[in-house]
Amino acid sequence: MRIAVVGGGPAGLYFALLMKRDWPALDVTVFERNQPDDTFGFGVVFSDQTLDTFKTADPESYGAIVDNFAYWDDIEIRFKDTLHRVSGNGFCGCSRRSLLMLVQERCRQLGVTLKFGEEADDIEALKRNFDLVVAADGINSRIREGWRERFRPQVDLRPNKFTWMGSTRPFDAFTFFFKETEHGLFIAHCYQYEVGRSTWVLETDPETFAKAGLESMDEAASAAFLEGIFAEELQGHRLITNRSLWRNFPMIRCESWVSENVVLIGDAKATAHFSIGSGTKLAMEDAIALHRAFGKAKLDVTAALSLYERTRREEVEKTQHAADVSLVWFEQLRRFWDFDPLRFAFGLMTRSKAITYDNLALRAPAFVAAIDTLVADEVGPTARRKRDGSPVAPAFQPFRLREMQIENRMVLSPMCQYSAVEGMPTDWHLMHYGSRAIGGPGLIVSEMTCVAPDARITPGCTGLYSDEQEAAWARIVAFVHANSTAKFCLQLGHAGRKGATRLMWDGMDRPLPAGAWPIISASPLPYYPESQVPREMTRADMDRVRSEFVTAARRGERAGFDMLELHCAHGYLLASFLSPLTNHRTDAYGGSLENRLRYPRELFRALREVWPREKPMSVRISATDWKEGGLSPEDSVAIAAAFAEEGCDLVDVSTGQTVNDSRPIYGRMFQTPYSDRIRNEARIATMCVGNITTADQVNTIIASGRADLVALGRPHLADPSFVLRAAAWYGVDTPQPVQYQPGKDQLMRNTPREREELTELKLKAKPGRHADAH
């Protein structure tokens, strides 16, 4: 078999050596347009975990690499005259040139043919003359671009500007410097990669870049300017340039990595932002994955390439998602600039979701203890403390909305049960809410409760438009109040164009085959092509629906609810006014965002007028429609601010479900960034929701200032005692009915011992061993 590797970077060279080592008879040639000793950039970074991967893949090159590495364990954050140092991170830096020379030498030893100073971008000739063509030619891959119609790349050019420089200043930690200047904000990501050499990645936003006049500066002038900005941090050392051009980072994704006998690896197929230090890691792990695929496929090219893409894509996309979240944190730095420096540092450490509260508690317990104190101090006199006087974990600190105090930050998310009969909640609902309340959440939010028979989503949805329904809800609320400390929020909504549909398990959002009722919406647009076409609301309809909401709210007050939430999300009636995808009106209620907000604001105002002043109100919104042309992040902030002006106390931040062809990007805590933005730009309390599954994640979100409350749905469905178990884990006493007290006592006895044992195991395994921490 003849193999052509196009690109002599870490990915291409590493793949070549692995293949030649295991199958010496293979003819493996690496084509590199540059000379062997050309060097661009400065250092590369690997985690302990990544080095372990290299050790397994090729012990010989691993040994040579680690002999040339500078190792650090700490991350240091310099922000507003403060210094925070977090240990236990386990990272190594190495000269990019040294790495390339080491891997080149290993390739020569094994008999790989290395051709330098040669362009190899004629795809047709390559695939004709070689059995396998590996495109490892980087971000500007000519092979990828030559076959764009096959690989279908998507490039997201990010707004921040950055440049790579070097210095002779030594570092004993990966160090972040944040500087505010007359021009704006600058960031330096710094680390030592060999004796007497360190990498400086300098980054700034486009406004600062323009104001500083950096566009017109050459490399030397740019370096001199930055030496002035970071004079104190450089400690008398100079900045070194090496093709140190200002650029915008391209986030590259390809729909396909394989075409015929050609495969993309490394930056040619996918990039990950430098702020998580995973570019070279991803590239070399691609090489390992492709090599393993050939081993499993017994050198069958077609089978190996298919296996490679099938098994490797998920890991790459997970890393890219973490990189996306990380880079956005730096792009939106101004949002966090007024944070307490300790919270700023905690947010920086946890920005990509690779590190969480519990991770940090293992590696930097004093840092986490300080965060606990910060959250407790913000709560004030009602902050909860343990017997030794130390504050409880952030998830268990109370939170106040008007005159209502919520005992912890974990919320039972509103989840439709589709189990009502003619709008009447049943014993199922009594069991559902009662058992979860006993489990310990600070707040319970009812499923969307409909304000009229024709406001229901399905025939199984609950309502609050009759005396009988009011009495049934009052029974449930009274049980919750009598047997728990949970507060109970009533969520009111109207299905709009998503009404008259089947139960979730019979075909969610699909129209009823029989018995459907007429539906209304902002515009006459069906949800699915086969869905019922709603009637566009008239002013008379608006008046009627507003009156139905007001009547339901009054019933909710009599039933004893502590809080009221207006559902303006997920494509239901009020959401259909807010989104330009579903509001095509040409009157005063359509067009501009101000107009689209007009009716939802009017309805909220009417509810605020009848809801008791001392009781809080919230609104649930979809912060993005996950579709081009829908709500923008700026829109969601403006919507939140508009409701705040009407007396809203909390924004329940969800996303999507506005149109049937949306394309959400899922992942852990995937909706939290939207809550973060609204909370810290609109300056209103938020509740986040969306694939949040652990109390550790709740602690991370609250401590970093991304939300004030955290709603969990499926975890509560699987475990009604989710909060109680979390309380035992963190050593927090939480109320339980006397009937269940023995179970709580056992949990409180056994869990600390289990946690100690698990912590000991993790410490033995080196808690810093993880990928992409910085």
**How many helices (H) and strands (E) in the chain?**
28, 30
The neighbour count for residue 527, using CB atoms within 10 Å, is 26
- Residue closest to 175 by CA, chosen among 311, 79, 243: 79
Confidence of residue 563 (pLDDT cuts 50, 70, 90): very high
Assigned token pair, 123: 């795809």
- Would residue 521 be called left, alpha or beta, if left means φ above 0 and alpha means ψ between -120 and 50 degrees? beta
The stretches of 67-218 forming alpha helices (DSSP H) are: 96-110, 123-129, 142-146, 148-151, 206-211
Q: According to the model, what pLDDT value does residue 44 have?
A: 85
d(CA 771, CA 774): 9
Which has the minimum average pLDDT: 9-13, 65-69, 456-460? 65-69
Report if pTM > 0.75. Answer: yes
pLDDT (0 to 100) of residue 332: 94
In this prediction, residue 740 has a pLDDT band, given cuts at 50, 70 and 90, of: very high
What does the pLDDT look like over 198-241, one tens digit per residue? 999 999 999 999 999 999 999 999 999 999 999 999 999 999 99
Report the C-alpha gap between 371 and 377 in whole angstroms: 10
pLDDT bracket for residue 354 (50, 70, 90): confident
**What is the distance between the alpha carbons of residues 491 and 493, in angstroms, rounded to a whole number?**
7
Both tokens assigned to 516? 């459907």
**What pLDDT, on the 0 to 100 scale, is given for residue 50?**
84
Residues near 219 by beta carbon (within 8 Å), at least 6 away in sequence: 241, 243, 244, 245
Structure confidence at residue 46 as a pLDDT band (50, 70, 90): confident
Residue environment code for 128-145, b if the CB has 16+ CB neighbours within 10 A, otherwise e = eebebbbbbbbeebbbbe
Instruction: Single out the residue of 664, 670, 575 nearest to residue 622, CA to CA.
Output: 575
- Identify the residue with better confidence: 189 or 95: 189
pLDDT cut 70: percent of the chain above it: 98
- pLDDT computed for residue 766 by the predictor: 53
Average pLDDT in the chain: 94
Residue type, 195: V
* Predicted pLDDT of residue 772: 44
CA–CA dist 57, 289 (Å, integer) = 10
- Taking only Cα atoms into account, the Rg of the chain, rounded to an integer number of angstroms, comes to 29
List % helix, strand, coil for the chain (3-state, nearest 5).
45, 20, 35
pLDDT digits (tens, 9 = 90+) for 390-435: 999 999 999 999 999 999 999 999 999 999 999 999 999 999 999 9
When pLDDT is averaged across residues 276-305 and rounded to a whole number, the result is 94
In the numeric block, the tokens 């852990």 are attached to 668
What secondary structure does DSSP assign to 176-238, as a single string? EEEEE-SS-EEEEEEEEEETTEEEEEEEE-HHHHHHTTGGG--HHHHHHHHHHHTHHHHTTPP
The residues annotated as belonging to the active site are 572
The tokens describing 620, both together, are 């649930």
pLDDT classification of 773: cutoffs 50, 70, 90 = very low
CA atoms within 13 A on the CB side of 474: 12
CA distances from 107 to 24, 174, 503 (A): 11, 31, 61
94 and 69 in contact (C-beta within 8 Å)?
yes
Q: At what angle do helices 96-110 and 10-22 cross, to 10 degrees?
A: 20
Selection from 193, 158, 191 nearest residue 177 by Cα: 191
Specify whether the CB–CB gap between 12 and 33 falls below 8 A: no
